[in-house]
Amino acid sequence: MNDHITVEGHDGAFAAYIARPKASPAPAVVVLQELFGVNADIRKTCDELAEQGFLAVAPDLFWRQEPGVNLSNVTSDADWQHGLRLYAAYDRDAGAKDVKDTVDAVRKLPECNGKVAVLGYCLGALMVFLTAVRCHGVDAAVTYHGGDTEKYLGEVDGLRAPLLMHLAEEDEFISKAAQAQIKAALAKKPNTIIYSYPGQNHAFSRHGGAHYNAEAAALAHERTYAFLNHQLG
């Protein structure tokens, strides 16, 4: 299919959704999913990045457990529970290697100009952080409400890539204490920018999500596109 590629990773091959910009070669953004798989929300995010001039690729992070997961993040409680089970069983260490394999594969695509950023949401945001601190060679990193990031702050010294982080102040999955720990740990990294969004809940930028806020989402995306253009320009 035109909108999918296969990544040949160290532990096996897995699929990735791809959205191509009008002009190429272009800088690339590897987009990392929430616990719902590479679903309509993630595919739309890739399409929007392509409209901004980026080559966007979303790998199937759950390929070891259940290839091709595509769950609703809005209407289905059964899908929510399904996603939670996959999230709980997900091997984050192996996942970080999968992301690095994806970055390496995307960098070699003829449509890519050699610059690659990683961007993720919730689980995907945590994987962006882990990839950025463990796997050097990423040109920029963007995280939206990365759950459990505070548990890995001991690795922050490994961060080399410029990092943009979006946090929702009323996030029900990332406590205010955890947010304070994250900000304190990253304060010593000069290449890091953190934005907080007052009154916003987890996943405030998710298309059609329960806590979607158009104004906050637009501001976050505007900041993201400016950051990516600056770092990958």
Whether the CB-CB separation of 3 and 24 falls below 8 Å is answered with no
3 state DSSP class of 181? helix
Q: Which of 202, 207, 211, 230 is catalytic?
A: 202
Active site includes 202?
yes
Q: What angle do CA 68, 115, 121 make, to 5 degrees?
A: 40
Active site includes 139?
no
3 state DSSP class of 8? strand
Spell out a b/e string for 158-178, using b for 16 or more CB atoms within 10 Å of the CB, else e: ebebbbbbbbbeebeebeeeb
Q: Which of 171, 207, 221, 230 is catalytic?
A: 171
How many residues would you count in the chain? 233
Residues marked active site are found at 171, 202
